Structure 1
């Protein structure tokens, strides 16, 4: 019988930010949101993506010769390598294998649950020493619900602590079923206003807030994560409205507090390598003083909160 495959685009070991202890993060490909500040644009679409570092390319044409679908071309005017955006990459990896300068990297590969579990198992000793485990991230984990739930089951059967990072945009049935095998949800709250949420992420937030309430009322452990950007969601009114929303959970044992995640520019170069335009204009970074103000506004609601800087 063919084993179930999950499409992932990265594995990150020795992570200390996304859940307790030392963790391995498995990045699932595909996301229903299009946040304008997304730091992992290579994980937005479920199809394989090519990241191309033009500064490393020797324009040798080897990738053109091996690509079975004509994704790679040599510009007849400049003689330089270019990628045809009209043709979908099939993820065969031949171009990456033949590029001796490592200018090409294919993002997106299908791995079986047993293959992923082998990777996770390599660092069991670090999980046990630190109280760590496995975090599923993305993209959006619950865009591949069957694979995510089965991988979570396998992790729990092996004794691993589990966490998932989620935007919460899925069905209540899926998120509650996943919750049976999740020790901690790292749940994004990007904007309290649905119209603004639509403007900045491409979807409204009603479903997200309903799923948050479903997790809280059913006793699943939830840690709120708030990405913060000046001019997007950092105004006092925005923060206080989130405080009012979360205030009702402050005495729930399964409410694990709020992480404030300041905007960073670590994903900007990825857009260039993917041939995409970065959606945000200007610099929406917040000063330390502004972050302290936001932290204090939330504390007025007696909610546990901290700033997390990567």
Structure 2
């Protein structure tokens, strides 16, 4: 087993740190977003989280233009950037994320998403808000992407949080070997796990993988760690899982486990701009979030089968 000094040196790749978060576990929290995910949910609000390595993102509204600047065009070794009048045109299909362009961009139009950090760095940053955690019964949450794609780094952060007496939670899709999940769970105060659909083939159509491993992992975790609070979440996606039957079946699954609670979250389009920034099309353009009435009805359906919590609870 690694000593504390060794834990602090373990590195991982993250793409965001969100302070004063109130929706990723109890109280005021610092949420650390890890890069890399085995799922490809077509509604994903963090598409930049899916690839494991750092990548470039272009916010075209910040671009100074080809005539005034054009440094990225001149330096790109693969010719992925070109001029069209004053516009800089990017060909993401040819881009290999060498990130040379980001190094010369003066305006912040091109930025690198993802950086390597040590577990010690993460904890030193998170510990600055310990007063808020203590006041609100908060802590830190490891999210993603998918936490279980970086198990050594996630474990190091969790163990360091345990040392400091800081509440630690993960948000996970639980699509990993059970041993990976179970090992990490030893250091958790809460596990938040998505169940996006109960039907394996529907789950595959929506995420790229079926859900058998996910459901089995949740079952095994709740059996082996009966004192670990588990929050099962379902993002409500119009046309995918926003029907009574699907939610009733997920709620029945969650209701098997005494330590489990259930939360339904409405799909939102806050990540839509990110798709264009990383050179991808957004498949849900024009799709609205579920209405308050729809969410209320689905929560009512679930509440007769499992303890339902609301995002404001």
Question: Is TM (by shorter chain) over 0.5?
Answer: yes
Match in the other structure for 1:226: 234
Contact 1:31 1:45 in 2 (8 A): yes
Deviation sequence 1:60-116 (CA, Å, 0-9, x none): 12234556x5476233x535323342232245xx64454332212210110111111
- Cα distance change on mapping 1:139 and 1:56 into 2, 3 Å: same
Match in the other structure for 1:61: 70
Does residue 263 (structure 1) correspond to residue 267 (structure 2)? The answer is yes
Match in the other structure for 1:126: 132
Shift of 1:287: 1.2
- Cα distance change on mapping 1:284 and 1:207 into 2, 3 Å: farther
Does residue 78 (structure 1) correspond to residue 78 (structure 2)? The answer is no
- Cα distance change on mapping 1:40 and 1:121 into 2, 3 Å: same
Contact 2:10 2:156 in 1 (8 A): no
Does residue 306 (structure 1) correspond to residue 309 (structure 2)? The answer is yes
SS in 1 for 2:81: strand
Does residue 195 (structure 1) correspond to residue 198 (structure 2)? The answer is no
Contact 1:50 1:105 in 2 (8 A): yes
CA RMSD of aligned residues (A): 2.0
232, 238, 245: which one aligns with 1:237? 245
Contact 1:187 1:225 in 2 (8 A): yes
Higher deviation after alignment, 239-248 or 220-229? 239-248
SS in 2 for 1:162: strand
Deviation sequence 1:36-66 (CA, Å, 0-9, x none): 1100001110121211111221121223455
TM-score, normalising length: structure 2: 0.90
Does residue 283 (structure 1) correspond to residue 287 (structure 2)? The answer is yes
Residue segments in structure 1 that go unaligned for 5+ positions in a row: none
Number of positions where the alignment pairs a residue of Structure 1 with one of Structure 2: 300
CA distance in 2, matches of 1:275, 1:234: 29
75, 86, 96: which one aligns with 1:88? 96
Deviation sequence 1:188-236 (CA, Å, 0-9, x none): 0100000000000000000000010111112222011110012110111
Deviation sequence 1:137-173 (CA, Å, 0-9, x none): 0000101111111111111112110000000101110
TM-score, normalising length: structure 1: 0.91
Does residue 25 (structure 1) correspond to residue 31 (structure 2)? The answer is yes
